[in-house]
Amino acid sequence: MTNFFLQALAEVGTPSVLGLIFIGVLFGIVGGSIPGFTVTMAILVVFPFTFAMDPVSGVSLMVGVFVGGYSGGIVSGVMLGIPGTPSSITTVYDGYPMAQKGEPGRALGIGVASSFLGTLISVAVLVFFGPLIASFSMNFRPWEITALIVFALTLVAGLSSGALLKGLMAAALGLLITTVGYDRNSNLRFDFGLPALGSGFEILPVMIGIFAFSQLLGNIEKIKDEKSEAKKIDTNVTIPYGQILKDMTGQKLNILRSSLIGSLVGALPGTGGTVANFLSYDQAKKFSRHPEEFGTGTPSGIVASEASNSAVAGGAFVPTLALGIPGDLPMAIMMGVLILHGITPGPMMFEQNPVLVGAIYASLLIGAVVMVICNLLLVRWFAKISLIPQQILVPVVLMLCAIGAYALNNNLFDIWVLFIFGIIGYLLWKAKVPLTPLILGVVLGDNLERQLFRALELNESWMTFLTRPLSALFLALAIASILFSLYQDRKIQRLKGL
Amino acid sequence: MLTLTKDRALALALLLIVAVMWRESGSIAPPTSWQPYGSALFPRILLVVIGVFSLLILVRSLLVKVPERAGAKQLIHEWFQSRRTILALFLLFGLYAALLPVVGYIVATIGFLVASLALLMGVNTRRKWMINLTLSCTLAIVIFVVFRYGLNVWLP
């Protein structure tokens, strides 16, 4: 693996790829800085630009956006008191009070340093556990893969904040979308007499439509609902490097704990940065000698929040690369990028594309360094950019989405697909249907059907799914995750009733 | 009369979709002699799952007491009224998609950006018009140049 990593490092180290990582990190930070824009949206906007690139360049650019995006929430969190992304909510708890006390530079510096260390630790987790899980899952046959995908979908649906039924229904709906068009036996399905539907729906326009429209139009509704005042901020920030070094030296354990929590949570399907953020903040408070200082501008709070949400980046790559199952929405899109470049994420990727896997590791590491440089040097610009109003942002991003969908195959039909799924996504979002299981269903649908039928072609009996130990274990876990979600829902309802 | 809630509307819409697609799944070619199961099996399993969950959502929504409200027609009218901006934005996007092959990327994109920025930002001051026009023209051209010459992607 070391040879491949060095080979990958040489490929990633070329000026053009380094330039792409720099652009990716820069755009990611900008995306993360703008409240309501999110990392996922930044990834979706950059995605089309990778179409014409070779896999290493495309993936490096996307990894750059990923690393930058998870750290971008610091700026708006500290300067405006508004989390740029949901995964930086707890950064606001201590970052904003510290900035209010006249130390915005210190808050930003601690946040950036923690983000950097969090990313590094998560890359170490990825490098260690990725190949380990991949080599274990090499023994998976179609029964195990089918059961694992079912488990991942039920887990994500079950974590859809009190909407288990809708989450499961959304996952099934996502899978159903992938059945349109010619199947593996060249049989046409659900074309309704329209030739354009013969080739089915491309994943990208469906994903962008469902996610981007609901989020962007939701932002517009929010602006209409709450007439927000124009915020004025002082962008004249100086970073006190000596003070930050002192702050960070006393946070070794906090950094390690929060980064490991972030990596672990990132590796679990359906969780992501927001869960990691709250979990590590809570743990840091519990382990602290001065828990009363949390929420008043303590460095420990910023460290816990930023180290954990940045560590999600590396952790989330573990199931995506090792099992071919994305854990969250940004990873589902990342998987779409890999598929688009002809690479199928999964255990075989470590054998078939070791250089690309190495390129992902290298891009994460280089991205983390670039992120620190960009954040420290350009912080006042990011603070200004975070004030871009949604009224300007929404039309621009919608236009970029349309061009991105078109550029995929130079096909205008894809813009219509984007539009139709935009309407569907918006209506589902209004009906409080969780969209993550839906998108995950779209990404995993083809593989699920292929594996299911391969299993049934090898052995017609459905009972084989229960007689093979690992397959039975995954199915049992799927049922357990549903039962646990039901129990949680009941508990929440009982608490609401009190 | 039953009040139309979001959950009820969702469940009914999904049940309708399931019914239409189940009917359409009848036209999928049957399995050949060497196939244990045909191409219709997987989508039919999913249709059953969606149907069952939709029914459960419907039943659960019927068990929850909702305050008496106006009829479905009135509610739909109110819903559309309160989301005029969103609907106008959807309409503009639809127009953009329709005009793209007719008038080409540059004209359609500038048109879409100018119209949607005007819709969201308003056009009550000269400054807003200037921002609108400058942003729309610059962005449309920059994106065209990046895709056409930087990435070799042809735009209509």
**Alpha-carbon separation of residue A481 from A155, A156, A175, A476, A484 (angstroms):** 6, 9, 19, 9, 5
Q: Judge contact between A445 and A179, C-beta under 8 A.
A: yes
Residue B136 located in a structural domain: yes
Residue B156 located in a structural domain: no
Residue A244: its H or E element: helix A241-249
Question: Contacts of residue B35 in chain A, CB cutoff 8 Å?
Answer: 185, 457
Eight-state DSSP code of residue B18: H
**One domain, residues B15 and B54:** yes
> What count of CB pairs under 8 Å joins A to B?
152
**One domain, residues B140 and B92:** yes
**Alpha-carbon separation of residue B9 from A172, A359, A428, B3, B56 (angstroms):** 18, 48, 11, 10, 13
Q: At what angle do helices A299-323 and A273-287 cross, to 10 degrees?
A: 140
Q: At what angle do helices B6-25 and B41-63 cross, to 10 degrees?
A: 160
Please report, rounded to a whole number, the percentage of residues in chain A having pLDDT higher than 70: 94
**One domain, residues B68 and B123:** no
Q: Which of A355, A335, A353 is nearest to A66 (CA)?
A: A335
What residues have CB less than 8 Å from B26, skipping those under 6 apart? B40
Residues B100, A176: C-beta atoms closer than 8 Å: no
Segments making up each domain of chain A, as ranges? 2-497
Summarize pLDDT for A417-446 with one digit per residue, the tens: 999 999 999 999 999 998 888 988 998 898
**One domain, residues B106 and B132:** yes
Q: At what angle do helices A299-323 and A104-137 cross, to 10 degrees?
A: 20
Residues B121, A389: C-beta atoms closer than 8 Å: yes
**One domain, residues B126 and B90:** yes
Residue B34 located in a structural domain: yes
Q: Judge contact between A46 and A27, C-beta under 8 A.
A: yes
What residues have CB less than 8 Å from B41, skipping those under 6 apart? none
* Residue B23: per-residue pLDDT: 94
Looking at the complex, does the CB of residue B143 fall below 8 Å from at least one CB of chain A? yes
ipTM of the assembly?
A: 0.91
What is the rounded average pLDDT of the residues A355-361?
Answer: 87
Which of the residue ranges A210-219, A227-236, A366-375 would you say has the lowest mean pLDDT? A227-236
What is the rounded average pLDDT of the residues A36-60?
Answer: 83
Please tell me the pTM assigned to this model.
0.83
Query: Which residue matches tokens 């509610």?
Result: B75
CA distance A346 to A134: 7
**One domain, residues B64 and B102:** no
Q: Judge contact between A229 and A279, C-beta under 8 A.
A: no
Which of A415, A452, A457, A490 to probe the B interface (max B CBs under 10 A)? A415
* Structural domain boundaries, residue B44: 6-82
Q: Which of residues 188-217 of A touch B (CB under 8 A)?
A: 188-190, 192, 217
CA distance B98 to B89: 14
- Indicate the pLDDT class of residue A212, thresholds 50, 70 and 90: confident
Residue B113 located in a structural domain: yes
- Indicate the pLDDT class of residue A34, thresholds 50, 70 and 90: confident
Q: Which pair of tokens denotes residue B105? A: 């990327």
Q: Which of B64, B82, B100 is the last residue of a domain?
A: B82
How many structural domains is chain B composed of?
2
**One domain, residues B95 and B119:** yes
- Per residue of chain B (156 residues), give pLDDT as tens: 667 788 899 999 999 999 999 999 999 988 887 777 889 999 999 999 999 999 999 998 888 777 766 666 777 777 777 778 889 999 999 999 999 999 999 999 999 999 999 999 888 888 889 999 999 999 999 989 988 887 777 888
Comparing CB atoms, the residue among B35, B56, B101 nearest residue A412 is B101
CA distance A207 to A214: 11
Residue B155 located in a structural domain: no
Residue B1 located in a structural domain: no
Residue B96 located in a structural domain: yes
**One domain, residues B62 and B77:** yes
- Indicate the pLDDT class of residue A489, thresholds 50, 70 and 90: confident
Q: Pick A15 or A266 by higher pLDDT.
A: A15
Q: Which of residues 355-394 of A touch B (CB under 8 A)?
A: 389-392, 394
Q: What share of chain B is helix, strand, coil (3-state, %, to 5)?
A: 75, 0, 25
Q: Positive or negative, the Cα torsion across B86, B92, B93, B98?
A: positive
**CA triple B41-B47-B50, angle to 5 deg:** 145
**One domain, residues B60 and B35:** yes
Q: Judge contact between A219 and A35, C-beta under 8 A.
A: no
